[in-house]
Structure 1
Amino acid sequence: MERTENMALGPANWLKRLWPLLLLVAVTTLVVTMGWHRYLTLEQLAANRESLRALMDDHYVLALTAFTALYAVTVALSIPGGVVLTVAAGFLFGWLLGGVLSVVGATIGATAVFLVARSALRDVLVEKAGPKLQRFADGFREDATSYLLFLRLIPVFPFWLVNLAPGLLGVSFWTYVLTTFVGIIPGTFAFALAGNGLDSVFDAQQASYESCLAKAGEGGHDSCEFGIDPGALLTTDVIVAVMALGVVALIPVVAKKLSRRTV
């Protein structure tokens, strides 16, 4: 009788545990199916910049709140577009405020993914994990601050994966939140600063596009492109500086391992 009751409660318990994950998957599927993610491009920003600025002038506080919420949702749903949103933040709000809004929004969204992974999947992973995976998780948690700072500063792995994995590996909540917040600051402000001077880039690209259309004639819309690569906005010096910070973050881990070998 007791066994039957536990079996009956099993699906309900699983649904209670998995509903946040199922909700994220469902909303992500809806967004991708409807094609809403295609609006997160610099081309769309260039095309709508005047209307966006007018909206900001009329509803400034609402614009700040809406942007932060949009950023958080984009990260939580693991939809590509974070870099574009950061550049857009610098363009619309200035590099300082835009950078702050981006860091806050990204941290909120990443924390949501962390909590979903920890509550929905961690117990299953621990139950199924072999000794090697368990040892890896223990080692990761031991130096979680250094590892997470490195992964945030240098995007070796996709952002969504770095949001998901710590929750599965048992990293503490505040370690995750603080390393996420601090670790994304350099790259975020670099892109926000790049977006701050985007007007001249848009104007130059628009002039080039219109010139191409004039030369190409009727078939110009197929052969001419208005495209801007967000990655091209960063200088080599900025990229090297951010990578150097990532290497610095691993120094405590390397030092600890070397000290163990010498003992």
Structure 2
Amino acid sequence: MSQTEQTKSPIARYGPLALIVIVAAVGAFALRDYLSFDALRDNREVLLAFRDENFILTVLLFIVAYILIVGFSLPGAAIATLTGGFLFGTALGTVVNVTGATLGATAIFLAARMGLGEKLKARMDASEGLVSKIKKGLDENQWSMLFFIRLVPAVPFFVANLIPAFLGVPLQRFMISTFLGIIPGSLVYTSVGAGLGTVFANGETPNLGIIFEPHILLPILGLCALSLMPVVIKAVTGKKDL
């Protein structure tokens, strides 16, 4: 552990992560009625009017809101993604959603690494036996594993932010893999959001389970398999990651 890390006070070290946990707990109860599909449906005309009058401001405010939702693990990330598609369409909405999600994920990553990540990494580096082998395997295949946990729909987004922090993944590598890795899933939900006008008109609710339908899930699983190809190739050839 570095001398700088040793001189950090407990508040400076654990404060950001503790704040995220507290806000997430409070938000789970206080905001669940506001960050919901019903709230989006009931306020859709106000949102569209504000967007039409203040387009750039709406984009910036939406990104900030998305960062806060993801950064503090508040309920409603899926609804936020739908809202991005509803307000900005599939193309721009995906860019806005992915940007906000990446920056919010980075906030969690930095808070976790500051609070626990450096300690855990140091312990894993100093460990022997099975733990050491697992750590070495992950280090040698970081890009593949980072893309894999982002692409697999079953891995919770919050967990995918914590694991890299605890394993000492470089910040730049985390941000790049997050931004690119969440594009497929974000594109699916953003496109659903772009069609909410018809859903609202018919009095229906969006199908948030669409990502698990075969025509969506199979291509994503194909990308998952592709992300693991370097691991397979290295296992066969014995070459290490560059």
When the two structures are superposed, what TM-score results if normalisation uses the length of structure 1? 0.80
Distance 2:22 2:7 in 1: 19
Question: Secondary structure of the equivalent of 1:171?
Answer: coil
Q: 1:172 to 1:193 in 2, by over 3 A?
A: same
The 8 Å contact of residues 87 and 230 in structure 1, kept in 2 or not, is answered as no
Moved more, 233-242 or 250-259: 233-242
Q: 2:110 is matched with which residue: 84, 104, 115? A: 115
Counterpart code for 1:62: L
The 8 Å contact of residues 122 and 170 in structure 1, kept in 2 or not, is answered as yes
Moved more, 252-261 or 84-93: 252-261
Q: 1:172 is matched with which residue: 164, 170, 173? A: 170
Q: How is 1:11-26 mapped onto 2 (pairs within 5 angstroms)?
A: 13-26=9-22
Q: How is 1:38-77 mapped onto 2 (pairs within 5 angstroms)?
A: 38-77=33-72
The 8 Å contact of residues 196 and 206 in structure 2, kept in 1 or not, is answered as no
Q: Mark the runs of 5 or more structure 1 residues left unpaired by the alignment.
A: 1-9, 207-226
The 8 Å contact of residues 27 and 75 in structure 2, kept in 1 or not, is answered as no
Q: 1:96 to 1:228 in 2, by over 3 A?
A: closer
1:78 aligns with: 73
1:221 aligns with: none
2:93 aligns with: 98
The 8 Å contact of residues 107 and 181 in structure 1, kept in 2 or not, is answered as yes
Distance 1:15 1:138 in 2: 31
1:64-105 per-position Cα deviation (integer Å, ceiling 9, x unaligned) = 111111111111112342222112111111111111000000
The 8 Å contact of residues 20 and 73 in structure 2, kept in 1 or not, is answered as no
CA shift, 1:32, in A, is 2.5
Q: 1:247 is matched with which residue: 206, 213, 225? A: 225
CA shift, 1:156, in A, is 3.0
Q: 1:232 to 1:182 in 2, by over 3 A?
A: closer
1:7 aligns with: none
When the two structures are superposed, what TM-score results if normalisation uses the length of structure 2? 0.87
Q: 1:149 to 1:116 in 2, by over 3 A?
A: same
Q: 1:248 to 1:80 in 2, by over 3 A?
A: farther
CA shift, 1:109, in A, is 0.5
Counterpart code for 2:147: L
1:260 aligns with: 238
Q: Mark the runs of 5 or more structure 2 residues left unpaired by the alignment.
A: 1-5
Distance 2:109 2:152 in 1: 19
The 8 Å contact of residues 137 and 170 in structure 1, kept in 2 or not, is answered as no
Q: 1:151 to 1:190 in 2, by over 3 A?
A: same
CA shift, 1:233, in A, is 7.4
